[in-house]
Structure 1
Amino acid sequence: MNTVHELIDEIDHGSMPDAERRKVLLAATGVLGGVGLLAAAYPFIASLEPSARELAQGGPVLSDISTLAVGELRTVAWRGKPVWLMRRSDEMVHALQQPNPALADPLSKRSEQPASCVNATRSERPELLVAVGICTHLGCSPVLHLDDGALNAELHAPGGFLCPCHGSRFDLAGRVVKNVPAPTNLEIPDYRFTTATTVQIG
């Protein structure tokens, strides 16, 4: 079997038949072209892969809710956003399931939530609220109020959320009341239960 140097020697000195010389030159050109194409394509392909930071920000987040008390609001970070986890009492759930003329979008028709959460409690399990804690007006974070008499009267419920920036108000399902700056209900992210007490967000 000829080595590369011997083949080059034969091509240079014309001792190789023309047909064979053409085959060798075509093969060599194909190999060099393939290597060049791979070298040129690598940076482009590498740029399509998400960075470690993007993977960390966009990946799912697991949260154990086994110790989440009734009325407690816990915040976890997901995709750079605060996501609320709140265990609602039976009284809170009952209030959410009643008609409330104060709400701008009670059936969440103009709001962002998974299909499994298009219901009065905007959740997969009535007792657990999972919501992005960012006001849909200008991005402030609303504050939970459980003992605000005026808010409770407006929402016909034992509690709600009040945005400290411009006064938007939301019930315990994240539904916005009428005539406030926030245009839509709070966002409900995609989530699922991986165990009876573990929620995967994203």
Structure 2
Amino acid sequence: MANDGVNGPVNTGRRRFLTATTSVVGAVGAGFVAVPFIKSWNPSARAKLAGAPVTADISGLQEGQRLILEWRGQPIWIVRRSKAVLDALPTLDGNLRDPNSENKEQQPDYISGETRSIKPEVSVLVGLCTHLGCSPEMAAEIKPEPYDPDWKGGYFCPCHKSRFDMSGRVYQGVPAPTNLVVPPHYYADDNTIVVGVDPQGAA
């Protein structure tokens, strides 16, 4: 009983100390866990910029060349087409699934015709096949190809053999169901394209 009288207060003090210490350590630990969890609620800098417009200087873009940008995590192809390619576009209508771009989900309302562009010589496309999202290869030259002996220039997806012309219009009889997407864009001046924003006054 004497020992109880001596050790009782000591044990109680230790218990209080250990309880307090455990609570503090637990609270600190919870704090460390909570910080990344709370931070995960905030969008990252990359996420904030993901939907922002991107600007490109195309003054040095030569015929047959392609400039690749990234917008919303997607590759954007800006291609300067030759006169020969532009002249060939109307001759392909009979080979295409949607030659008049009637599927309005694939391009803004201000994009129409066989060029599917604001300026005929400059094409702006999302570089993802509309079948399974692969990235097609560009074959801009008018010359026979293994997949088409009468090739007039365009894009070929080696994954599943889908083909598109130089305006991104899909051929008939391939897995891709629709034309390549034309993103919203406008010209800030003769040599500057802004991708991700419609022109002023566009519907």
Question: Are positions 1:125 and 2:119 aligned together?
Answer: yes
Measured in 2, the distance between the counterparts of 1:119 and 1:177 equals 16
Residues 116 and 106 of structure 1: is their aligned pair in 2 closer, same or farther, counting only changes over 3 Å? same
* Contact persistence 1:142–1:162 (CA under 8 A): yes
Q: Deviations over 1:127-163 (max 9, x none)?
A: 00000000000010000112550456545x2x11100
Distance in 1 of aligned mates of 2:192 and 2:117:
15
Check conservation: 1:88, 1:127, Cα contact below 8 A. yes
Structure 1 counterpart of 2:108, from 104, 114, 135:
114
Q: Which runs of 5+ in 1 are unaligned?
A: 1-46
Q: Is the 8 A contact 2:86 2:120 kept in 1?
A: yes
Aligned to 1:71: 64
Superposition CA RMSD, Å: 1.8
CA distance in 2, matches of 1:190, 1:57: 15
Q: Is the 8 A contact 2:51 2:71 kept in 1?
A: yes
TM-score by length of 1: 0.71
Could you list the runs of 5+ residues in structure 2 that have no partner in the other structure? 1-40, 197-203
Corresponding residue for residue 60 of structure 1: 53
Partner in structure 1 of residue 144 of structure 2: 149
What SS does structure 2 have at the residue aligned with 1:176? coil
Q: Is the 8 A contact 1:152 1:160 kept in 2?
A: no
Separation in 1, partners of 2:98, 2:80: 23
Identity, in percent, stands at 44
- TM-score, structure 2 as length reference: 0.70
Contact 1:102/1:154 (CA < 8 Å) preserved in 2? no
Q: Are 2:94 and 1:101 equivalent residues in the alignment?
A: yes
The CA deviation at 1:100 is 2.3
Give 4+ residue runs of structure 1 displaced > 4 Å after superposition: 151-155
| Deviations 1:88-116 (CA, angstroms, capped at 9, x unpaired) | 01111111133521100000112510111
Q: Using a 3 Å threshold, how does the CA distance of structure 1 residues 154 and 147 change in structure 2: closer, same or farther?
A: closer
Q: Is the 8 A contact 2:75 2:126 kept in 1?
A: yes
Structure-1 separation of matches of 2:85 and 2:111: 17
Counterpart for residue 80 of structure 1: 73
- Distance in 1 separating the partners of 2:89 and 2:119: 13
Alpha-carbon distance, 1:119 to partner: 1.4
Match of 2:181 in 1: 187
The correspondence for 1:174, drawn from 168, 173, 176, is 168
Tell me the CA shift for residue 51 of structure 1: 5.1
Q: Secondary structure of the equivalent of 1:115?
A: coil
Partners of 1:65 and 1:197 within 8 A in 2 = yes
Structure 2: how far apart are the matches of 1:167 and 1:129?
A: 22
Matched, 1:90 2:71: no
Verify the 8 A CA contact 2:85 2:142 in the aligned structure 1.
Answer: no
8 Å contact from structure 2 (residues 143, 150) kept in 1: no
Q: Aligned partners of 1:153, 1:172: CA distance in 2, in Å?
A: 16
